[in-house]
């Protein structure tokens, strides 16, 4: 059985850097605290916790003199302000591509535009983008776009991990609602590459395996993109979710993984599929 792994499967550079920063900071300073989980992956959180990187809900839970790490998803300015007032050290793990979205939405607001974010309600990244400007509108899907009132001038950014198809559908509706509309495409390049690769792989392979936590919106989106092109697509969280019957009459398997899936989980899945498929040649990286 042939195994093809999407080249950009798994950690994006933003998440990889933030996780490494959490380990390095825990090593250097003893404990490090994070507001919420650094990635949407339970195993990574457990391992980080063992290394001394703890999750807290509120800044007030960070003990005096300790270190607070702000995560890759970005953080609302009010939380930065609150943290600076405390006697704690701050480490910024914000992905530079998220910082770029903050910058873009502030520029759109300066141009006198109503700001619109295409993204998931309540997602940490979207919450932090929304906090950069006054009363932005958050639109997650086409139905919400249809309900929006007409506006004279508006500017749109998107959550970094959105699917371009969703964004395009929403913009088509908004074009009928906004006289002067400006769109900045802030889907990040690791997401774009990951999406392009899974779309191609899903058409070429008999079976598709997407590795990622069910709490990860971007893993779910990958699964959706794959399922739309290949009915034999399965999302798994680890190698133990794989069943031999998934691979009946299968000559080729495509593998992708969400941006919060660590390398060791991907490797364990590949190893198990190799065993099931009696693959002795190894896996091919699909670019
Ligand atoms: S998904 Fe994109 S924007 Fe988000 S952390 Fe990864 S690289 Fe940065």
Q: What is the pLDDT of residues 160-214, one digit of tens each?
A: 999 999 999 999 999 999 999 999 999 999 999 999 999 999 999 999 999 999 9
Measured in Å, residue 260 CA sits from the centre of ligand 1 at 10
Give nearest CA residue, ligand 1 atom 5: 14
Whole-number Å distance between alpha carbons of 255 and 52: 32
Measured in Å, residue 261 CA sits from the centre of ligand 1 at 13
Which SS3 state, helix, strand or coil, does residue 117 take?
A: strand
CATH architecture, range 13-94: 3-Layer(aba) Sandwich (3.40)
Question: The tokens of 36 are what?
Answer: 């919420």
- Position 88 scores a pLDDT of 96
Give nearest CA residue, ligand 1 atom 2: 188
Whole-number Å distance between alpha carbons of 277 and 252: 9
Residue 217 scores a pLDDT above 90: no
Residue 286 scores a pLDDT above 90: no
Measured in Å, residue 191 CA sits from the centre of ligand 1 at 7
Distance of CA 201 to the CA centre of its chain: 20
Residue 215 scores a pLDDT above 90: no
- Position 82 scores a pLDDT of 97
Pocket test for ligand 1, best of 8, 10, 11, 15 (most atoms within 8 A of CB): 15
Span 216-228, mean pLDDT?
94
Walk across the sheet containing 137-139 and list its strands: 137-139, 114-118, 151-158, 178-183
Measured in Å, residue 204 CA sits from the centre of ligand 1 at 27
Residue 265 scores a pLDDT above 90: yes
Span 106-135, mean pLDDT?
97
Span 77-81, mean pLDDT?
97
Residue 82, CA distances (Å) to 36, 58, 79 in order: 16, 10, 5
Whole-number Å distance between alpha carbons of 230 and 235: 12
Helices (H), the chain: 13-29, 42-51, 77-85, 96-110, 124-130, 142-147, 164-174, 189-204, 217-229, 263-276
- Position 281 scores a pLDDT of 79
Question: The tokens of 13 are what?
Answer: 């550079």
pLDDT over 90 percentage in the chain: 90
Which SS3 state, helix, strand or coil, does residue 178 take?
A: strand
**Residue 98 — very low, low, confident or very high, per pLDDT cuts 50/70/90?**
very high
Question: The tokens of 144 are what?
Answer: 């919400």
Measured in Å, residue 277 CA sits from the centre of ligand 1 at 33
CATH topology of domain 2-10+190-286: Cobalt-precorrin-4 Transmethylase; domain 1 (3.40.1010)
Whole-prediction pTM: 0.92
Q: Which residue has the higher pLDDT, 63 or 218?
A: 63
The domain spans of the chain are 2-10+190-286, 13-94, 97-187
**Residue 224 — very low, low, confident or very high, per pLDDT cuts 50/70/90?**
very high
Domains 2-10+190-286 and 97-187 share a fold: yes
Cβ neighbors of 61 (< 8 A, separation 6 or more) are: 33
Give nearest CA residue, ligand 1 atom 8: 14
The set of protein residues with a Cβ atom below 6 angstroms from ligand 1 is 12-15, 72, 95, 97-98, 160-161, 188, 190-191, 259
Residue 280 scores a pLDDT above 80: no
Which SS3 state, helix, strand or coil, does residue 277 take?
A: coil
Whole-number Å distance between alpha carbons of 19 and 12: 11
Alpha-carbon dihedral angle through residues 258, 262, 263, 269, given to the nearest 10 degrees: -70
- Hey, which residues are catalytic here? 125
Candidates 1.10.1040.10, 2.150.10.10, 1.10.10.60, 3.40.1010.20; CATH matching 97-187: 3.40.1010.20
Span 151-167, mean pLDDT?
97
Pocket test for ligand 1, best of 18, 98, 257 (most atoms within 8 A of CB): 98
Atom of ligand 1 nearest to the CA of 97: 3
Whole-number Å distance between alpha carbons of 226 and 207: 10
**Residue 43 — very low, low, confident or very high, per pLDDT cuts 50/70/90?**
confident
Span 9-35, mean pLDDT?
93
């Amino acid at each position: 059985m042939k195994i093809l792994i999407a080249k950009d499967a798994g950690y994006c550079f933003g998440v990889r850097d933030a996780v490494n920063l959490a380990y390095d900071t825990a090593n250097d300073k003893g404990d490090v605290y994070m507001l919420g989980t650094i990635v949407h992956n339970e195993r990574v959180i457990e391992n980080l916790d063992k290394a001394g990187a703890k999750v807290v809900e509120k800044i007030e839970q960070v003990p005096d003199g300790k270190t607070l790490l702000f995560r890759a998803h970005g953080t609302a300015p009010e939380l930065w302000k609150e943290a600076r007032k405390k006697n704690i050290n701050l480490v910024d793990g914000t992905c530079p591509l998220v910082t770029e979205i903050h910058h873009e939405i502030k520029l759109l607001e300066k141009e006198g535009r109503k700001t619109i974010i295409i993204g998931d309600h309540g997602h940490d990244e979207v919450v932090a983008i929304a906090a950069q400007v006054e009363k932005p509108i958050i639109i997650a899907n086409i139905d919400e776009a249809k309900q929006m009132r007409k506006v004279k001038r508006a500017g749109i950014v998107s959550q970094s991990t959105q699917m371009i198809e969703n964004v395009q559908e929403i913009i088509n509706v908004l074009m009928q609602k906004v006289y002067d509309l400006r769109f900045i495409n802030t889907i990040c390049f690791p997401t774009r590459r990951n999406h392009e690769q899974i779309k191609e792989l899903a058409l070429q392979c008999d079976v598709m395996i997407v590795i990622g936590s069910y709490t990860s919106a971007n893993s779910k989106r990958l699964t959706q993109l794959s399922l739309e092109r290949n009915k034999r697509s399965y999302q798994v969280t680890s190698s133990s979710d794989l069943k031999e019957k998934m691979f009946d009459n299968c000559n080729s398997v495509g593998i992708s993984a969400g941006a919060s899936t660590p390398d060791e989980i991907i490797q364990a899945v590949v190893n198990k599929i190799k065993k099931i498929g009696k693959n002795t040649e190894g896996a091919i990286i699909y670019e």
